[in-house]
Structure formats: C-alpha cells, structure tokens
C-alpha cells in the first residue's frame, strides 16, 4: 500500500506507517498535477489537510484510490459523500487537535481581556515615549474567573473549551441545534477526576443573555450563526473568538458592533475570504488575529499523524 501525505504528516505517523510495511510518499504535489501523480505512482491513500482539495473530478480520475484521509476535523475540502458512494474509505481525526484549538481560544480570550493584542503592537512604537499613557489606556482589563462563557458547538473542541472554562472558574453555557446533556471530566495532576454534567440549549436569546465571552466551535455552516440580530442581543462589552470556519459570523457586522462598543473585542483565526482576509479586519486594533493556527501545535500534529496511521493500518487489514 502506498500513501501520499500531500500536506505532510508527523514523524510519529510516518513511523507507524513504516512499521506496518506501508510505503509513504511525503511529496507536495500541486493541485493541477495531483491526478497524474496519483495514477503514475499507484497511490492507494491520499492524505490531506486544508490546502489540497479532493473533488469529484479527482475521485473519478483516480480509480486506484482506496482511502482519502483528512488531518483535522472539517471535511469541507473533500467531496465526502461522493467518495463514499464510489466505495472509498474517508477518514479524519476529529479529536486529535481539539485541545490545541481550545487552548488557542483562551490564548485569544486572555489577550483580548488584558489588551495584549494591542499593547504588543504599541509598545515597540511608543513604549519608550508614552509608557505611562499606554499603562493608563489598558486599565479597564477583565479577569475570566466568575465570568460567563458561551460555547457554540459541543463537539470535541467545544468540550475542551468548556473544560478549560470550568477550570478557570467560569460559568458555562453551551448552544447546540438540539439540546443535550454531556458528561465532562477534568483530570488533575494528582490523579483526581472531577465530572460535570453540562446541558446545552438551542435557545439563542437565552444563550446570549449575560454572556461575557463567546467561542464558536462548529463545523462549516450554511449562513451566519452570528449576524446583526444576534449581535444586537449580546451583552455590552462581550468578547468573541472564532476558531471554527470563516463564514460562521458576519465580519462586516462584527466591525460595526466593535465600532459601536457592543463588542469589546474579538479574535479571528479563520476568515470569510481566507487566505486573503479583508484589510479592515487586519487593521482593526480591537481584533486579535491569527492565520488559521487552531491545530498547529507539535502536540496536535503528532496526534493527527498517529490517528491517521492507525486508521489506515486497520483499513489495510480489512482490504487484504
């Protein structure tokens, strides 16, 4: 079996595959040459992340493919249903990067609440001449403890965000399409485990009421989850972080509500016009911005590679 990891794979994943006698082609093939490369090299497994697209034309043109794998959660760059109809196995790693994304959510929350995103810009420019003025301008900072955290989405990432919120002493609300109750377990360094029962709501108005921090952790959606109507119902001074997908919130409306003061600050790791975010977003001092870094930690990449490799090894046994 030959595996093409077109967007890369961790050393741990590579080692797992080689130990199982699977050949790894860790090449980076451009989209326009991908079909020819797969066919000429008799590739059985195509592994991608977000850069490579696996559409119906590629699936039809590569009859030797047996498995398509996505290193991450979202599958919007793969025509999943069509691939399955054609008899291919489609795999992903829904939990491997969850903790990394959740920690980025709180990196942004801390940055926004303490003005770190702005002070890191201004200190190199004015720190030597306007030190006391800058100090005064950042005095309206907030703690997270005791505040209300609203989490939109209750998958693997949403659950990790909830865990961190609980560990910080935050009150937690969860919004899902259908209300449900999940058990959340926090494990501590001394072996103790504390369990919490968290019930979600599908009542947007109740969810937004008195919520101080909002994290969006959903798959790609049809239409905006947060648009003008939802912004209007938020608590004044709310903080928002989107590490989900571009297009789940209205970026133009977000800027309007930042300007009005309704939204105290927001963070975007993903963008509607990715990879070319709109200039007004990039220049707004009330935004904390990252270039789609959610799962980009060494820890997550090791987990992703290992999880993909183990799934491929299991499928190989079925196919033999």
Cα–Cα–Cα angle for 41, 43, 70, rounded to 5 degrees: 140
Q: Please pick, among 99, 108, 117, 245, the residue that the annotation labels catalytic.
A: 245
Distance, first Cα to last Cα, the chain: 10
Quick one: how far is CA 187 from the chain centroid?
23
| Residue 153 Rama label (left phi>0; alpha psi -120 to 50; beta) | left
Beta strands 181-187 and 193-199, pairing class:
antiparallel
Q: Please pick, among 274, 278, 302, 307, the residue that the annotation labels catalytic.
A: 274
245 is catalytic: yes
In order, the DSSP letters of 53-82 are: -B-HHHHHH-TT--EEEESSS--TTB-HHH
Q: Please pick, among 292, 302, 307, 320, the residue that the annotation labels catalytic.
A: 292
19 is catalytic: no
14 is catalytic: no
- Please give the DSSP secondary-structure letter assigned to residue 147: S
Distances in Å between the alpha carbon of 42 and those of 36, 39, 61, 64, 273?
A: 10, 5, 12, 7, 35
CB atoms within 10 A of CB 12: 16
- What are the residue numbers of the active site? 245, 274, 292
């Amino acid at each position: 079996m030959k595996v093409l990891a077109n967007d890369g794979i961790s050393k741990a994943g590579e080692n797992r595959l080689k130990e199982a006698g699977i050949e790894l082609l860790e090449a980076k093939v451009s989209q326009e040459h991908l079909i020819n490369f797969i066919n000429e090299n008799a590739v059985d497994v195509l592994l991608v992340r977000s850069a490579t697209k696996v559409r119906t034309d590629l699936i039809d043109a590569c009859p030797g493919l047996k498995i398509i794998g996505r290193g991450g959660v979202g599958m919007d760059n793969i025509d999943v249903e069509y691939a399955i109809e054609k008899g291919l196995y489609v795999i992903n790693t829904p939990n491997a990067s969850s903790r990394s994304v959740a920690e980025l959510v709180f990196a942004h929350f801390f940055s926004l609440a303490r003005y770190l995103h702005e002070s890191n810009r201004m200190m190199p420019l004015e720190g030597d001449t306007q030190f006391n003025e800058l100090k005064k301008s950042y005095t309206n900072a907030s703690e997270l403890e005791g505040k209300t955290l609203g989490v939109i989405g209750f998958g693997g990432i949403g659950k990790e965000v909830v865990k961190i919120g609980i560990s910080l002493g935050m009150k937690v609300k969860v919004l899902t399409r259908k209300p449900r109750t999940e058990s959340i377990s926090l494990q501590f360094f001394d072996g103790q485990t504390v369990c919490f029962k968290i019930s979600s709501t599908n009542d947007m108005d109740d969810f937004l009421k008195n919520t101080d921090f909002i994290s969006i952790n959903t798959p790609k959606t049809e239409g905006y989850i947060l648009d003008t109507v939802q912004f209007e119902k938020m608590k004044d001074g709310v903080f928002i972080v989107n590490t989900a997908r571009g297009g789940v919130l209205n970026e133009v409306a977000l800027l309007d509500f930042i300007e009005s003061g309704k939204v105290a600050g927001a963070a975007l790791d993903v963008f509607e016009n990715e990879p070319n975010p709109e200039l007004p977003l990039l220049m707004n001092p009330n935004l904390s911005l990252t270039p789609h870094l959610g799962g980009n930690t060494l820890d997550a990449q090791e987990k992703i590679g290992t999880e993909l490799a183990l799934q491929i090894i299991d499928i190989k046994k079925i196919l033999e």
